[in-house]
């Protein structure tokens, strides 16, 4: 019932968002088969400019939100998110490396930028993962979070150094990338990111009950027969893949991964069988709406979507920090 409501909201967002934009198009013309697609501007606005964008927003929103849920449950910390674990810094470093090197080749129709971004995100999480493994059973969540912050600082410093050495264009492109953008302009990057995202979802599907138990404490989970170390590995790998897929598609769209799990838990409670799918759906809808605002609010030009999510996410985050004090 609850999931059906979330599903309806997301579906509505997916269906309505492509109808709105900075230009007005006629739906009759969009679906008019008598005009060849190559000459049909309205159809290209709909199918090349808007639809991939809405789908990318949905995927990025779902990806960040799912990993947010998993990180928060796993580390039993409300601040755990792709951002705070160094993933954004790793992804940014990957993007910076290719953007400042002016390496402009494509692999299977996907530009090298998302590939490097994906590698950077996974690299950063691999460090966190290795640290978690080294600690063995019952990794302290505070240690992991602090490790994430340290890795984040390290990778950001490396990124700033590269930027300092690079030329103005490289720096400018990097800054643009850091603001996040969902204007993917084709379906190839979406299809490419569906592979890691799909694998992540398979991992997530095994997690809900285990996450419920781990949220109560690792000892409690172990007492109920959960193989905590194995579960942690599955959770970290899945969350890393999903974050990597999201950040390579849309850039580091801040805060989605932190705010969505909190909102959803307030709405549906703490049961991860509900929280996981509901967060994916809500995250997708939220980012579709944020992107809709981004591309229409100062039309004909656009606002970077990362700014919109941060404007919404920032105050929410503050409220989260200070409520009940």
Partner 1 sequence: MVAIPGPLRLRAKGLGLIVAIALSLQPSALLGEARRVISIIPATTEMLFAMGAGDRVIAIGNYDTYPPEAQKLPKVGALIDPNVEQILQMRPDLVVIYGTQTELKRRLDRANIAYYSYVHKGLSDIAQTIRSLGMRVGADAGANALASRIEQQLADIRRRVASQPRPKTLLVFGREPGSLRNIDASGGDGFLHDMLDAAGGADVLGDIHRQSVTMSTEMVLARAPDVIIELRYSKDDVNNADMSAWNRLSAVPAVKNRRVILLTGEEFVVPGPRVAAATRRLAAALHPEVRW
Q: How many CB atoms neighbour CB 84 within 10 A?
A: 21
Judged by CB under 8 A, does residue 73 bind partner 1?
A: no
Judged by CB under 8 A, does residue 98 bind partner 1?
A: yes
Judged by CB under 8 A, does residue 174 bind partner 1?
A: no
CB of 123 vs partner 1, minimal distance in Å: 21
- Parallel/antiparallel/unpaired status of strands 110-111 and 106-107: antiparallel
Task: Tell me which stretch binds partner 1 (CB under 8 A): 26-34, 95-103, 236-244, 316-324.
Answer: 95-103
Name the residue nearer to partner 1 (CB basis): 23 or 206: 23
Name the residue nearer to partner 1 (CB basis): 110 or 213: 110
Task: Tell me which stretch binds partner 1 (CB under 8 A): 121-129, 176-184, 191-199, 269-277.
Answer: 176-184
Q: Is residue 210 within 8 Å of 283, Cβ to Cβ? A: no
Burial of residue 28, with CB atoms counted within 10 A of its CB: 0-12 exposed, 13-18 middle, 19 or more buried: exposed
Judged by CB under 8 A, does residue 265 bind partner 1?
A: no
Judged by CB under 8 A, does residue 51 bind partner 1?
A: no
- Build a one-symbol-per-residue string for 281-320: x at contacts with partner 1 by CB under 8 A, - elsewhere: --------------x----xxx------------------
Among 8, 26, 176, 206, binds partner 1 (CB under 8 A): 176
Name the residue nearer to partner 1 (CB basis): 176 or 206: 176
Name the residue nearer to partner 1 (CB basis): 20 or 202: 20
Judged by CB under 8 A, does residue 112 bind partner 1?
A: yes
- Build a one-symbol-per-residue string for 187-226: x at contacts with partner 1 by CB under 8 A, - elsewhere: --x-------------------------------------
Judged by CB under 8 A, does residue 23 bind partner 1?
A: yes
> What tokens does 132 get?
């978690």
Interface residues toward partner 1, by CB under 8 A = 21-23, 37-41, 43-45, 48-50, 98-99, 102-106, 110-113, 164, 167-169, 172-173, 176-177, 181, 183-186, 189, 295, 300-302
């Amino acid at each position: 019932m609850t999931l059906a409501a979330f599903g309806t909201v997301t579906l509505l967002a997916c269906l309505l968002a492509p109808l709105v934009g900075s230009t007005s198009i006629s739906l009759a013309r969009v679906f008019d088969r008598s005009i060849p697609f190559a000459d049909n501007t309205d159809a290209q606005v709909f199918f090349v400019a808007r639809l991939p964008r809405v789908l990318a927003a949905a995927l990025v929103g779902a990806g960040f939100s799912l990993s947010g849920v998993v990180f928060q449950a796993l580390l039993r910390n409300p601040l755990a998110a792709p951002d705070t674990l160094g993933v954004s810094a790793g992804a940014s470093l990957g993007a910076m490396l290719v953007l400042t090197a002016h390496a402009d080749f494509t692999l299977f129709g996907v530009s090298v930028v998302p590939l490097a971004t994906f590698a950077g995100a996974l690299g950063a999480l691999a460090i966190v993962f290795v640290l978690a493994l080294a600690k063995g059973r019952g990794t302290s969540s505070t240690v992991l979070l602090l490790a994430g912050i340290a890795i984040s600082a390290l990778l950001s410093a490396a990124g700033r150094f590269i930027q300092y050495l690079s030329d103005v264009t490289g720096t400018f492109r990097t800054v643009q990338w850091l603001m996040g953008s969902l204007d993917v302009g084709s379906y190839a990057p979406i299809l490419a990111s569906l592979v890691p995202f799909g694998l992540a979802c398979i991992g997530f599907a095994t997690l809900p009950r285990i996450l419920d138990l781990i949220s109560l404490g690792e000892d409690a989970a172990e007492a109920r027969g959960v193989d905590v170390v194995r579960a942690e590995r599955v959770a970290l790998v899945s969350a890393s893949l999903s974050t990597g897929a999201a950040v390579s598609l849309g850039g580091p769209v801040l805060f989605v991964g932190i705010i969505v799990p909190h909102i959803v838990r307030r709405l549906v409670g703490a049961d991860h069988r509900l929280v996981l799918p509901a967060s994916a759906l809500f995250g997708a809808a939220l980012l579709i709406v944020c992107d809709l605002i981004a591309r229409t609010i100062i039309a004909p030009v656009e606002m970077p979507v990362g700014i919109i999510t941060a404007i919404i996410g920032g105050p929410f985050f503050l409220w989260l920090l200070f409520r009940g004090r």
